[in-house]
Amino acid sequence: MADRIRVGIVGATVTPGGSGWGANAHVPALQHLPDFELRAVCTAHEETARASAAAFGVDLAFHDIDAMVAHPEVDLVSVSVRVPWHRDLVMAAIRGGKAVFCEWPLGANLAEAEEMASAAAAQSLRTFVGLQGRSDPAIRYARDLVREGYVGEVLGANLSITSQAQYERGSGRVWQRLRSNGANTLTISGGHGIDAMCAVLGEFTEVTARTATRVSEWLDTDANQRLAVDSPDVIGFAGVLEGGAEVSVQVAAVPFGANGSRLEVYGREGALVIASAGALSTGPNRVVGIKGREAAVELPVPDRYDLVPEGMPGGGARNVGQAYVGIAEAWSARASDVPDFAAAVTRHRLIDAIERSAAEGRTISIR
């Protein structure tokens, strides 16, 4: 194997209409990390594959996933495409015996996630999932503060996530209106934020939830056509963590006044607040602490939690870069914070429990 981990990205497409998460987050992250080499790109069409490879300075361009997976100069396959396409692309990488980094959600539903995790485990392949909140410096710092007893026994917590709703979209993005496609306010905004909370506080044992679709139509701006929506845009649930703490969560996509994310942790000896104007998974996040009866103070995140080199772009690329550093650590058998497919299944199980609780009107236990 080469000295650097050679990555083949599926979905880092550059087109006249713009580019997506793979091009805007994964590519710049990899270009700034010495342990990695962006070796190949794979897109749906030969012309876009060649254009993207040229834009990123990459030699290998593919429009056939099986061909890229079979190439001996690709060590790690990174999948950054629409969620409904994750399963087929990930399974192709697994069949080829390659390590896989798949963006979150891993699958369009729990069953797909379990299938991919089982297939990878059967071949003892390295797997990673893009729940980048776990790699964020502030989230990792808050996790350690809780573990070290800053707040004492955790009694309760509140998580609020409000994102900007987009009710008018081009034809290429209206697919997210369907719950069955697996990418919506619950799974994306909620999934990333809830996972960051669980990284700090631990897992749920039960949930009682409500979900609603308050805006039931979107406008396809390309076709000038209104389309029915069944993806939830308001989600609320109460739950209990493994340690007994009571938690309340509110997730919503709103047309005006979205104020980002805020996690409040209350313990017997103090409290913590982790807040972002956007998502906890992309930051930047602030940490505020209250110790006993003392006044609230901002707690600067120590430099040791910042893993990426100087010059790493901000925005989504920074925590994606943090995740890739974790992948390099796992690759060399060192301790790593990057979640694998088994961790992704745990998160899918929680989301499935939230959906079932809302649909059935009862508390769901999680095992």
pLDDT of residue 19: 67
- Specify whether domain 133-306+340-365 bears CATH 3.30.360.10: yes
pLDDT of residue 335: 85
Give the pLDDT means over successive 10-residue stretches in the chain (367 positions): 89 71 94 97 94 94 97 98 97 98 98 98 98 97 98 98 96 95 97 98 98 98 97 98 97 96 98 96 95 96 96 93 97 92 98 98 95
pLDDT of residue 209: 98
- Specify whether domain 5-130 bears CATH 2.60.120.260: no
Residues of the chain with CATH 3.30.360.10: 133-306+340-365
Backbone angles phi, psi at 136, to 5 degrees: -65, 135
pLDDT of residue 165: 96
pLDDT of residue 12: 85
pLDDT of residue 13: 84
* Global confidence as pTM: 0.96
Residues of the chain with CATH 3.40.50.720: 5-130
pLDDT of residue 337: 87
pLDDT of residue 17: 52
